[in-house]
Amino acid sequence: MNWILDRIALVLTAIACALGAWAFYRYTGRWSGPIIMTIVIVGLFAENHRLRKLLAANGIESRSRRRNT
């Protein structure tokens, strides 16, 4: 019986996500691409900054230098 509730919850979640995506594209129109790209680029810079701080906290140099081989 639990699997039926799980399937219903999954379908309802899919419907909610589809409605959210439709509303986003409907109301942003041709600006949806630049908006999504801006969010992705800001997210990548934030993640990069967080990872560099984590490396520095553990004593690891974040920028590896070229080694002479």
pLDDT of 26 higher than 90: yes
pLDDT tens string 42-59: 999 999 999 999 999 998
What pLDDT is recorded for position 67? Answer: 58
pTM of the prediction?
A: 0.68
What pLDDT is recorded for position 21? Answer: 96
Burial string for 13-52 (b: 16+ CB within 10 Å, else e) reads eeeeeeeeeeeeeeeeeeeeeeeeeeeeeeeeeeeeeeee
Segment 23-50 shows an average pLDDT of 97
What pLDDT is recorded for position 54? Answer: 94
